[in-house]
């Protein structure tokens, strides 16, 4: 995957708040064997920006962004922004 796949994960605030950086896995349909909803994408978390931010699609093991480093998450599509490097 190239740099074009690097993106920011945001939570809804006013304005939206960047909580992590990661890579988008386009074409994926599941995360940890759970099907993605039509408005979700699969991301691999590479850098935490706000450790205490809640995960928007939590799992039993991952409820805060600090727990998501080096793992995969489902994230709402409208809160993922592609980054240019």
The pLDDT profile of the chain, 85 residues, written as one tens digit per residue, is 444 589 999 999 889 999 999 999 988 899 988 999 999 999 999 999 999 999 999 988 899 999 999 999 999 999 999 987 5
d(CA 2, CA 20): 18
pTM for the complete prediction?
0.86
pLDDT of residue 1: 42
**Domain residue spans in the chain?**
3-82
Output helix, strand, coil percentages for the chain, rounded to the nearest 5: 10, 45, 45
Task: Burial-class residue 68 by CB neighbours within 10 Å (0-12, 13-18, 19+).
Answer: buried
> What are the tens digits of pLDDT across the range 23-40?
999 888 999 889 999 999
């Amino acid at each position: 995957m190239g740099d074009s796949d690097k993106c920011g994960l945001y939570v809804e605030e006013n304005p939206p708040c960047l909580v992590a950086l990661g890579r988008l896995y386009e074409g994926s349909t599941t995360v940890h064997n759970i099907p993605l909803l039509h408005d979700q994408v699969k991301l691999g978390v590479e850098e935490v920006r706000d450790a205490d931010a809640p995960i928007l699609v939590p799992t039993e093991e991952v409820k805060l962004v600090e727990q998501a480093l080096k793992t995969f998450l489902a994230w709402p599509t409208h809160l993922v922004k592609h980054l240019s490097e």
